[in-house]
Amino acid sequence: MIAVFLGPPGSGKGTQAARLAKRFGLLHFDMGRSLREEIASGSKLGEKIRSYTDIGELVPISIIKEIIEKVLEDSSNESIILDGFPRSEEQADLLDDVLIRLGLDLKGVYFFSIGDNAIIDRITNRRYCPVCRKVYNLKSAPPLIDGKCDEDGSELVTRPDDNEDVIANRLDVYRRKTAPILARYRRKGKLTELDATLAIADIEKLLMEHIGLQ
């Protein structure tokens, strides 16, 4: 089962993917995280990736292609939530090709719909644990102790691209490159739109119904 979670940055798709993955034993593949891990490894490739993520631009398709092919080839029997991929027409074409080649079916594309003001508010309040990667929101899902991860007590940090200047560009890139692919999935009858401003538990319930997770 392959499900795609699609939406602007800060729409909560990563939060939902992580919850469902934990609850139902699915594989949550988060492209942004995978890219950040490559950056953290200090490799030459990571350096190149950083020159794009730092300014909120999409990383070139050649790099994305290698990563996604490996993920789908290595786990062709698992149920996977793709979070943050595809993000452009050419990436959607790539996904089509890989799914056909591996004989995998796209269950659906779940679109997290939310306005810009709510996004900026969410992202500027986002913090994460650099050790276990748990994500917090200072307003809606704060840690139990100020600035510390609930799981391992590590000092929480802000992503370098979660500042207002870079967010503005990420939203622009989303509008120009990612939003247009919604039409393709709508046409194919694969698109489900969700109100991303609902409570976390309510969105989770809707996703479970639509994806068919019990």
Complex with ligand AMP: residue 44 or 205, whichever CB lies closer: 44
The crossing angle, in degrees rounded to 10, of helices 200-211 and 13-24 is: 60
Taking CB under 6 A as the rule, which mask of x and - marks residues 146-185 in contact with ligand AMP? ---------------x--------x---------------
Tokens 């309510």 belong to residue: 202
- Smallest distance from ligand AMP to CB 214, Å: 28
The crossing angle, in degrees rounded to 10, of helices 31-40 and 44-53 is: 130
* Residues 182-201 contacting ligand AMP, CB under 6 A: none
Task: Count Cβ atoms below 10 Å from residue 82 Cβ, excluding itself.
Answer: 24
Task: Count Cβ atoms below 10 Å from residue 3 Cβ, excluding itself.
Answer: 24
* Residues 22-81 contacting ligand AMP, CB under 6 A: 31-32, 35, 52-53, 56-59, 64
Catalytic residues: 13, 87, 126, 159, 170
85 binds ligand AMP (CB under 6 A): yes
Torsion of CA 39, 43, 49, 50, to 10 degrees: 50
Per CB under 6 A, residues contacting ligand AMP are: 9, 31-32, 35, 52-53, 56-59, 64, 84-85, 87, 91, 161, 170
